[in-house]
Structures are given as C-alpha cells and as structure tokens.
Structure 1
C-alpha cells in the first residue's frame, strides 16, 4: 500500500471541486483529497487509486440488491434521483453502484446503448462546456488527473455518439451528488468493475426515480 507521501504526489495534479488561487489553500485541499484514498489497485497503464469507502454514505457502496424492474439481465439502469446505477442480473437481482449525476438542467434522460468503451480515456470538453467556461483546456490525456477516470462507456443512439458518458472520477466525494456536466460518474474502482461486465451494445436506460418512461 502506498504511503501517504506517495498518495499526495499521485494526487497532486487532481482537479479540485472548488479551486482557490492561493497556494496554501491548494496544499490544504490536496491533503483533504489524499484522505479519501487508502491505496491502489494494479491496472495498466496507471494504477487505480482506491477510495476509503467508510467515508461514503453506505447506500452508495457497491452491493448486490433485489431488483424488480422490467429490464432484462445485462441492462444498465441509471436512476438520476436515487444517484444509483443498476446492472440487472438474473434471478431478480442487480449490482448497484453509487453515482454522481448532472447538475440541474444538465442531466440527460433516455434510452441509449454503449457504442464504445475506453480505458484511461482522453478527455475533451463539449461545446456547451466551453461556452460556459471558455478557459477550459481543450483536451487532456488519460491518467489519474483526467476527469473521465479509469474507464468510460460512451453512449450512442442510432449509431451516433450523444456526448454523454458513464465514466470514472477523480472526485470521489461527488458520488451521490448532482454536480457533473451531465455525465454519470462512478468511483474508478466501480467503473473498472462495470466495464469488465458489459459489452459494446449494452442497453442503457437513464431515468428519474420510479419512471420507466423517460
């Protein structure tokens, strides 16, 4: 397990949920970031930082739960209001993951499919994101400081990328929150688990709580 010093170095480049231009605040924030991590999970080309799940609300920890929805096994169901993603299993069960979702007015709802998958993917802002924040970098290579995290599932409709993703995050405190630019974010270790379980072509339903018709 890496020491706290190593974790601080690893996390030094991570973007903060709230930034301050003064260096002392930056150091304090990095200390707080590091407190969320307890080690790493081997992966290529980067190891995955592992989150101290005791810091999370237990309902957002990955677990197998009973599932009574009409979707067939293998379907991904995202409940925006509950902040949960379900991977439907056989036998009336689902693997449930905690997620972060889009800010009010940013969340996408509908039915799509996984059009492609990415490992430690590169990131680039959408035109809407740039219009709201012209200072955003236009691209960022994959890595531990990348907003897409360790894995990404790219959502498509009719063979077209709709620019919404299910992806990892380097802001684990945002799981259970409504603060993204519209995508569904997961702990990196959780999105690695989900990525391994679902193929390209998987159906994805993103809905409001209790509403199967989006």
Structure 2
C-alpha cells in the first residue's frame, strides 16, 4: 500500500451532480479567451471564487483534445510529468485537465479504481505529516480532521483511489490554490482547480479505472536502486 500523501475521514453523503456543464474549450480552435466556466460558483455550500486571470497557463485549461493515451473510454489517465489528467472519451478524444502533483513528482504509479467520491470532504493529515508539522495536530483523526471549507486542502470534491480493494491513500481532489496547477508543489495527491474537480466529479462514477503513469523521477530512482 502506498504511503499516505493525503487522507480523509468521515464519509459525507454526495448530492446530485450539477445539471449543466460548462462549454469546453477546443485546443485546436486558436481562441484562448478566458473561459467563462472559471468564474465564481455560487451554487455550492461555499462560494468558490473565480480563478484569477493569468494564473493558470492556457495549456492547463480544461480542453477537448485528441486522445494520446490509447485507453478505453471512461478511463482516467494521470501524466505526472506533463501535469495532465485525461478522461478518455469516445471517438478518439479526451478531456484534458491541468493538475498539480507532489514535490517529488509522484511516488506511486499503476492502476487503481475510484472506490468512492465525496463532496466537500473532511481532511485528515497522515500521522507522518503531523509529526513533521505539529501545528496540524488539531486536524488529526482523533480530533475529527479539518472540516469542509474553502481552506480545506481537499477542496470541493475528492475521488478516493483503491488498488485491489485496499486504500492507496492517494486522492484526486480539488484545490483553492490556482497557482499550484502545472507545478509539483503538493504533498503527494493529484490536485485540480475546484472548478475542474466539480466538473470531473460529475462525469466519473464509482469504479472508474485510473491509470497513473510513472514519473521520470520515479523511473530514475528505480534505476539507481536496481544498480546498487
């Protein structure tokens, strides 16, 4: 089982996904006007601010692209080096989302399943994280974790990844930090804009296959260890 990059506590009942979905930006259109679907969201329990213009580079905006993965429609594919997450569609296309990953790239790769999903989840930092950052003790499992809200590191939604029925402790989740998209800055999980995780949540059912590609750093580390 993977070491905990992020984790959470008490399961929260999910409500119905949004009825309307924002217009997709087509990567081949040549038009890079600021997407309207990155505006403020007032329909959530907590009002989500607009994504500040100029913070997220256009290549990390949600886009409909030619599928580069070759996977079956409905599969989620994470490319930690390119900082993209793909939701494979019919007809040789994929929805591509910009992501942020851990400082070390991503330390786990392979196949997993979305065991379940949560809207506005509670965040519980792993014991190892609390040992490094004692100020997080108020959010320990014993104290009930950090309640949902705009400052919660898991954001507006979280998808919980299990491998062979065992929790990997990795999540695909939202983030209030727009400047983290396209970068390796988080503590290990796969983060999207809150706007994007809400959209992805509405498209991905429980049981969805997730494939995480190995990062270059992970491959290099494995090569060094094999040579010792």
Give the TM bin, normalised by the shorter chain.
0.7 to 0.9
- 1:24-173 correspondence to structure 2 within 5 Å: 40-104=40-104, 107-136=107-136, 137-138=139-140, 139-173=145-179
SS at match of 2:173: strand
Deviation (angstroms), 1:173: 0.4
Deviation (angstroms), 1:53: 4.3
Deviation (angstroms), 1:180: 1.0
Distance 1:74 1:39, change over 3 A: closer
Q: Residues 87 and 96 of structure 2 are in contact (CA less than 8 Å); yes or no, is this contact kept in structure 1?
A: yes
1:22 paired residue number: none
Tell me if 1:202 matches 2:208. yes
**Whole-angstrom CA distance in 2 between matches of 1:43 and 1:160:** 34
**Whole-angstrom CA distance in 2 between matches of 1:107 and 1:175:** 18
User: Going by fraction, where is strand more abundant, 1 or 2?
Assistant: 1
Relative to the length of structure 2, the TM-score reads: 0.71
Higher mean Cα deviation, 41-50 or 181-190?
A: 41-50
- Gaps of at least 5 residues in structure 2 are 1-37, 220-228
Deviation (angstroms), 1:55: 2.5
Consecutive aligned runs of 4 or more in structure 1 exceeding 6 Å deviation: none
- Gaps of at least 5 residues in structure 1 are 1-37
SS at match of 1:74: coil
Q: Residues 105 and 184 of structure 2 are in contact (CA less than 8 Å); yes or no, is this contact kept in structure 1?
A: no
Number of matched pairs: 175
Tell me if 1:193 matches 2:206. no
Q: Residues 170 and 189 of structure 2 are in contact (CA less than 8 Å); yes or no, is this contact kept in structure 1?
A: yes
Deviation (angstroms), 1:160: 1.9
Q: Residues 53 and 61 of structure 1 are in contact (CA less than 8 Å); yes or no, is this contact kept in structure 2?
A: no
Distance 1:46 1:89, change over 3 A: same
**Whole-angstrom CA distance in 1 between matches of 2:80 and 2:95:** 16
Q: Residues 107 and 181 of structure 1 are in contact (CA less than 8 Å); yes or no, is this contact kept in structure 2?
A: no
1:179 paired residue number: 185
CA-atom RMSD in angstroms: 2.1
The superposition leaves residues 66-114 of structure 1 with CA deviations (integer Å, 9 ceiling, x where unpaired) of 1132210000001000000000001111000000001117532121010
Relative to the length of structure 1, the TM-score reads: 0.76
